[in-house]
């Protein structure tokens, strides 16, 4: 009788142990499934955060204001150290590309102009089409004579006051071009006729604009 009870107890103990091991296996599987699900959710959240961060980084900046950019380009040009009355600089803007035009007597002015404009926020590319005028003592003499003649005529002297004159004299192989801005049509015509009287000049082109017709550059 005792043997039978012992055997029965042993069998019950084995069944109980098997049930406990089964529960442990089930719990282990559940725990692994939960851990895997948490990892998947975590990875998904991280991927979404990374994508959002990348989206913020790659998002294009706000379009640059043409008016603001134009003012900054002009300021960079007129404040060049050797930009003077015998130079003429102009520019055009297409998106984030700035194209420089005009004529200068010094090669360094051309280089400095492009370098300075390239530092402006919003400018991605600078096309430098500035022409460096040839060295010529003949042209230099015409420049000086034209400047002095214009300064002594009527009230034209006021256009040459200050470090940034509003009237510029460009001389290329004896040909004179007047550029810049004057306040009246009378002054525009007076400057043109006066420049024509300067000895040694082959021709005079009058590109002067009236104040308000366009931005002086």
98's CB contacts (< 8 A; 6+ apart) are 69, 73, 91, 92, 117, 120, 123, 125, 126, 127
**What three-state secondary structure class fits 132?**
strand
Confidence (pTM) = 0.68
> Angle CA(197)–CA(203)–CA(207) in degrees, nearest 5?
95
Closest CA to 172 of 150, 148, 140, 196: 140
Predicted pLDDT at 212:
79
Query: Are β-strands 97-104 and 88-94 bridged in parallel, bridged antiparallel, or unpaired?
Result: antiparallel
CATH class assigned to 137-210: alpha beta
CA–CA separation, 163 and 79 (whole Å): 9
**What three-state secondary structure class fits 61?**
coil
Per-residue pLDDT of the chain (217 residues; tens, 9 = 90+): 444 444 334 444 455 455 555 555 545 554 555 444 444 444 444 444 444 444 433 333 444 588 899 999 999 999 999 999 999 999 999 999 999 999 999 999 999 999 999 999 999 999 999 999 999 999 999 999 999 999 999 999 999 998 889 999 999 999 999 999 999 999 999 999 999 999 999 999 999 999 877 554 4
Pick the CATH number of 66-132 from 3.10.20.310, 3.40.30.10, 3.30.1340.30, 3.40.50.360: 3.30.1340.30
How far are the Cα atoms of 8, 28, 31, 197, 212 from residue 38, in angstroms, in the given order? 45, 15, 11, 90, 69
């Amino acid at each position: 009788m005792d043997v039978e009870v012992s055997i029965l107890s042993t069998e019950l103990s084995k069944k109980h142990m098997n049930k406990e091991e089964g529960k442990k296996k089930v719990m282990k599987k559940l725990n692994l499934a939960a851990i895997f699900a948490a990892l998947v959710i975590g990875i998904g959240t991280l991927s979404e955060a990374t994508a959002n961060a990348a989206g913020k980084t790659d998002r294009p900046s706000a379009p640059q204001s043409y008016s603001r950019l134009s003012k900054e380009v002009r300021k960079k040009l007129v404040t060049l150290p050797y930009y003077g009355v015998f130079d003429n600089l102009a520019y055009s803007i297409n998106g984030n590309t700035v194209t420089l035009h005009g004529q200068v007597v010094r090669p360094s002015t051309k280089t400095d102009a492009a370098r300075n404009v390239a530092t402006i926020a919003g400018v991605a590319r600078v096309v430098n089409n500035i022409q460096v005028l040839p060295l010529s003592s003949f042209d230099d003499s015409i420049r000086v004579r034209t400047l002095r003649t214009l300064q002594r005529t009527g009230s034209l002297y006021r256009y040459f006051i200050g470090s940034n004159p509003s009237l510029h004299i460009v001389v290329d192989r004896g040909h004179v071009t007047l550029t810049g801005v004057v306040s009246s049509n009378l002054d525009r015509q007076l400057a043109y006729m006066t420049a024509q009287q300067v000895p040694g000049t082959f021709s005079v082109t009058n590109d002067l604009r009236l104040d308000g017709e366009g931005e002086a550059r």
